[in-house]
Amino acid sequence: MIKLQNKIAIGCLIQWYEIDLIPQYLKSVKQALDNIENKKNVTIELYFNRSQTLEKIDESQTNLSEIHEKYDKLLLDIFDYDEEMSSYIGCEFNLVLKSNDYSNVTYTIADYRRDFNDEYCEKVDVLMWGETDSLIPRQTFEILDNLHSQVKNDTPKYISFFSTCKMWDESWKELEHPDFTDKPFIDSDKEDKEHWWSLRYNMTIDEMNKINDKVEELDVRVANQYKFNGCGLVISSDVVKSGVNIPRSVFFVHEDTAFLNSMIKYFSGAIPQYIIKNVLLVHNRKHPLKRNYVLGEQNIDKANIGGKRLSHKWYEVANKMCEHNAYNLFNQSKVYTWKDVFNES
């Protein structure tokens, strides 16, 4: 068993339509704590988003009460947490459960990660952005604890990122896992069940473990320039305390881009990004269970996540406006809001 020397928080926003997707993420978090002696040094925050201001539940398939019952059962089965009794009976994990009580409040991944950073930078040493379509390595907390202990005196401000699958272009090569990087890039609107290195391949926990269990010595590198996405981003608390966070102008998505651009503006590359090159964090970004029970999406192929999103006019508009805001944080340019989105869509 490993005793952690530092405190870590991993936070994840769960949209109600991701209820069938989240079991594997939660199991990967639980697995990453199996070998940790002082498990409560890791705060696992889960924010269950009930809002239907954007996506609406197709009540011919299910309803919010049934979805929440599934969620409660997952917490009990995986973490021994009994929400109905509001207690941690037999629970050895530091779970923090949040939700919005009203379904008419818009709350997005940008909102959540901004709030998570702001709250936990004062409570823990290291922050990690969880994501429902991710699987974190079982070595996660041991690696992050050791990394922080080794670098906190010389570089208390840093970010870090585990390796990822084969990505779109050469700019991502530095982050690709060594087993993936020389493979051809494959992309399509359909799920890829053959090419295990592909963006469209949905990897299991066992497959991830098989890759990561081969590691005998960590390969930790310093990135040439900041490069990451939001899935599994690791941030030392001192970075957020120094003023870097997701600006409020970024109200929906592209929050990772906004955070990266803020890092560049604040620190001009002086803060290192450590890459854990030979340990894979899985991002099943196009998983067919990612958007279930959404009204109006039932006739679209489950694996066509982009098609499901773009079937809603507001999504296309919000994505475009939020991208504009994220890339023009420090320019004299209009800041779009949800009001602009709804006026146009």
3-state SS of 202-268 is: CCCHHHHHHHHCCCCCCCEEECCCCCCCCCCCEEEHHHHHCCCCCCCCCCCCCHHHHHHHHHHHHHC
pLDDT digits (tens, 9 = 90+) for 302-339: 878 888 888 899 999 999 999 999 999 999 999 999 99
| pLDDT at position 294 over 80 | yes
Percent of the chain with pLDDT over 90: 76
Q: Which pLDDT band, with edges at 50, 70 and 90, does 186 fall under?
A: confident
pLDDT averaged over the chain? 92
pLDDT digits (tens, 9 = 90+) for 246-274: 999 999 999 999 999 999 999 988 999 99
Residue 3 lies in a domain: no
Percent of the chain with pLDDT over 70: 95
Residue 1 lies in a domain: no
Residue 216 lies in a domain: yes
Question: Whole-prediction pTM value?
Answer: 0.94
Residue 329 lies in a domain: yes
| pLDDT at position 89 over 60 | no
C-alpha to C-alpha distances, 167 to 5, 32, 161, 230, 284, nearest whole angstrom: 34, 25, 15, 14, 13
The predicted pLDDT at position 104 comes to: 76
Residue 218 sits in a domain whose CATH number is 3.90.550.10
Report which of residues 14 and 311 the model is more confident about: 14
**Residue ranges making up the domain that contains 206:** 8-344
DSSP SS3 for 133: coil
**Total number of domains constituting the chain:** 1
Rg (CA), the chain: 20
CA distance 314 to 306: 14
